[in-house]
Chains A and B, each alone.
Chain A
Amino acid sequence: MMMVDPLILTLFLPLFGAIAAFVLPRAAAWVGLLAVLGTGVAVAALARAVLAEGEVVTQLGGWAPPLGIALRADGLSVAMLAMTAGVGLLVSIGALDALRDLRERQYFWPLWLLLLTGMNGVYLGTDIFNLYVMIEVIALAAVGLTVLSGTKQAVRAGLEYMYASILGALLFLMGVGFVYLQAGRLDFAGLIAVEPSGAMSAALALMVVGLLLKTALFPLHFWLPAAHANATAPASALLSGLVVKAALYIFLRLTTYMPLPDEILVTLIGTLGAGAVLWGGVQALRAERLKLLVAWSTVVQIGLIFIAFARAGQVGLSESWKAAALLILAHGVAKSAMFLAAGRIKDEIGHDRIADLDKSDTRPTLAQFTFALAAISIIGLPPSLGFIGKWTLMEGAMAAGYWHWVAVTMIGTLMSVAYFSRVFAGFLRFDRMRGELAEHKGWALADAAPLTLAIAAISLGLMAAPILSFIELGYPFGAQQ
């Protein structure tokens, strides 16, 4: 009986896909699409297993941790895997059409599939050194995707991103060194039992700073806007929607096994999140280009996720992670839709200067509609998943009496309405152009993908209850004890 473990397939299918796409550059697109589709099926099989058993664990090589490395899937990891596979599949379909240059195409697929391998590895990982290797797989593939267009701005942004990535990974690695020094083991499960000590605090500090740099929490966000704004549309969608979530996810997991030792630190994380919401909001209001505005909105959303994490302080962490997870999922789906739509608008109009959006004689109406739908979820209007996420955040903060988090979230929401209105004004004003207005140049495959994602971002809000109960499967945050 050759029944292959869906856990293993989730990792190996994209890996083999990347290899095949690299050695067969002419068939890269179809090989790649097939591999992403296969990964989706493997994730679905894994979801079934998790539904049935709560958690699925495979000890690679038959060696039990701490000597060996185990892969573990629970509700949260499967939700992340599913979001990645779903968004990835739609972005891939969009990329079939959006990437016209043969060279861009031939490199996009292997890099994207390696990125998928790395992200799936993060969501299944339980060993901190292995996670270090995984974030490097992600980093190299992501930088490769950032500079796909080869423009000077993109390469410059890619280099900054690379520096930040390497530094973040090395801080994390140094932290791993200190964990080993104190605990002598590197598996998540073994870290719970370790007594707090100087070395463990140092390790936690190093790893958390490294991860915050990788996930671009204010004020360590400096590399993100340029990198995400200058990449080609499918790459931006993957970078903003999916890549930053990997480090965020590790942060969520790590702090369960190595809890932040003090309430002050939780508040500090939340305060940085508030800084991101306010500063990112101001920058989005000032951005001159559409893609840059969308990139700054990612900075804001990451801040919001950290506020969700800190919303009820240390005692509330066992519930707060759910709000953070909802926001992560909502942002992943909506932001990839938004970047793809922004890319379509730029393709059709020929530029993405916000001030001149209404001065074009072409109206990419479908892409504009998609952008607006995605914005509903990002702003957090009902019934979108973004709304549910924000609502869960504020509910928890109110219950804990932390009104300042509610206030920051409200201000952030108002600011996001303001900066997206700048874009909508450009979409809706028709009086600036004299003469015939051309409708958009026909339906394109690249429009279907973001539209589907944007509709998903809104309709998933209606399924919030099953999603919430699903991510609790297997007790990702140790509610069992």
Chain B
Amino acid sequence: MTPDLIYGLTGIAVFAIGLVGALCAQDRLRRVLALKLCSVGAGFVLVVAAWRTPPADPDPVPHALVITGIVVMISATAVALALIRRLQTLEAEDDDG
């Protein structure tokens, strides 16, 4: 059992858990969380794919891709959360008035 095998399957499992969450979440915030899990799962697969049996160095290209993916994901998360805050405020105003 090598680390790439273990963590590769972990990544796929995390991706699938996020997928179930994204499809079934009953709460807006939870759905964002689930999507973030998916992105970590995809990150796992790329990091695993870059791994080479030591002492060989890993392939740096997938590492760069995952870093890019992380920054892209925080951007998307921030926008989704801003939408949630805005929507909840609009709905709360409606309930009051």
Q: Do chains A and B touch in the complex (CB under 8 A)?
A: yes
Q: Could you list which residues of chain A lie within 8 angstroms of chain B, going by C-beta atoms?
A: 67, 129, 132-133, 136, 139-140, 143-144, 147, 150, 152, 155-156, 158-159, 162-163, 165-167, 169-170, 173-174, 176-178, 180-181
Knowing A133-B68, A173-B39 are in contact, say whether A162-B45 is a contact too (CB < 8 A): no
A-B contact count (CB 8 A): 77
Chain A min CB distance to B4 (Å): 10
B83 near A173 with CB under 8 A, answer no
A140 near B87 with CB under 8 A, answer no
A166 near B35 with CB under 8 A, answer yes
A147 near B83 with CB under 8 A, answer yes
Residues of B25-67 at the interface with A, using a CB-CB cut-off of 8 Å, are 28, 31, 35, 38-39, 41-42, 45-46, 49, 61-62, 65
Of the listed residues A129, A156, A177, A178, the one surrounded by the most CB atoms of chain B closer than 10 A to its CB is: A177
A150 to B42, CA, bound (A): 33
In addition to A163-B31, A167-B22, A177-B42, 11 A-B residue pairs with Cβ atoms within 8 Å of each other are A132-B72, A133-B68, A147-B83, A150-B86, A152-B90, A152-B91, A155-B86, A163-B22, A166-B76, A174-B15, A174-B45
B79 near A162 with CB under 8 A, answer yes
CB-defined contacts of B28 to chain A, threshold 8 Å = 159
Residue of B whose beta carbon sits closest to that of A139: B76
B46 near A177 with CB under 8 A, answer yes
B83 near A158 with CB under 8 A, answer yes
Tell me whether chain A's interface is mostly helix, strand or loop, or mixed. helix
A139 to B94, CA, bound (A): 29
Of the listed residues B45, B72, B80, B84, the one surrounded by the most CB atoms of chain A closer than 10 A to its CB is: B72
A136 near B45 with CB under 8 A, answer no
Residue of B whose beta carbon sits closest to that of A163: B31
CB-defined contacts of A143 to chain B, threshold 8 Å = 79, 83
Indicate which residue in B22, B79, B90 contacts A140 across the interface (CB closer than 8 Å).
B79
Residue of B whose beta carbon sits closest to that of A161: B83
CB-defined contacts of A144 to chain B, threshold 8 Å = 79
A182 to B91, CA, bound (A): 48
B46 near A136 with CB under 8 A, answer no
A133 to B69, CA, bound (A): 8
B62 near A155 with CB under 8 A, answer no
CB-defined contacts of A166 to chain B, threshold 8 Å = 35, 76, 80
- B75 on the interface (CB 8 Å rule)? yes
Interface size in chain B (residues, C-beta < 8 A) = 29
CB-defined contacts of B94 to chain A, threshold 8 Å = 152
Q: Could you list which residues of chain B lie within 8 angstroms of chain A, going by C-beta atoms?
A: 15, 22, 28, 31, 35, 38-39, 41-42, 45-46, 49, 61-62, 65, 68-69, 72, 75-76, 79-80, 83-84, 86-87, 90-91, 94
CB-defined contacts of B84 to chain A, threshold 8 Å = 159
The 9 closest A-B pairs by CB, nearest first: A177-B45, A159-B83, A152-B90, A174-B42, A170-B38, A181-B49, A173-B42, A155-B87, A177-B46
A139 to B35, CA, bound (A): 15
B83 near A167 with CB under 8 A, answer no
A155 near B69 with CB under 8 A, answer no
CB-defined contacts of B46 to chain A, threshold 8 Å = 176-177, 180
B69 near A173 with CB under 8 A, answer yes
A144 to B72, CA, bound (A): 16
Indicate which residue in A159, A162, A170, A180 contacts B62 across the interface (CB closer than 8 Å).
A180
Chain A min CB distance to B65 (Å): 5
CB-defined contacts of A180 to chain B, threshold 8 Å = 46, 49, 62
Residue of A whose beta carbon sits closest to that of B86: A155
Residue of A whose beta carbon sits closest to that of B37: A170
Chain B min CB distance to A93 (Å): 28
CB-defined contacts of A165 to chain B, threshold 8 Å = 76
22 A-B contact pairs sorted by A residue (CB < 8 Å): A129-B65, A133-B68, A133-B72, A136-B72, A144-B79, A150-B86, A155-B83, A158-B83, A162-B76, A162-B83, A163-B22, A163-B35, A167-B22, A169-B72, A170-B35, A170-B42, A174-B38, A174-B42, A177-B45, A178-B45, A180-B46, A180-B62
Indicate which residue in A67, A140, A155, A159 contacts B76 across the interface (CB closer than 8 Å).
A140
CB-defined contacts of A177 to chain B, threshold 8 Å = 42, 45-46, 49, 62
Residue of A whose beta carbon sits closest to that of B93: A152
CB-defined contacts of B41 to chain A, threshold 8 Å = 174
A136 near B87 with CB under 8 A, answer no
A144 to B82, CA, bound (A): 11
A163 to B38, CA, bound (A): 12
CB-defined contacts of A159 to chain B, threshold 8 Å = 28, 80, 83-84, 87
CB-defined contacts of A170 to chain B, threshold 8 Å = 35, 38-39, 42
Indicate which residue in A129, A133, A156, A169 contacts B87 across the interface (CB closer than 8 Å).
A156
Residue of A whose beta carbon sits closest to that of B22: A167
A182 to B24, CA, bound (A): 31
CB-defined contacts of B72 to chain A, threshold 8 Å = 132-133, 136, 169
CB-defined contacts of B61 to chain A, threshold 8 Å = 67
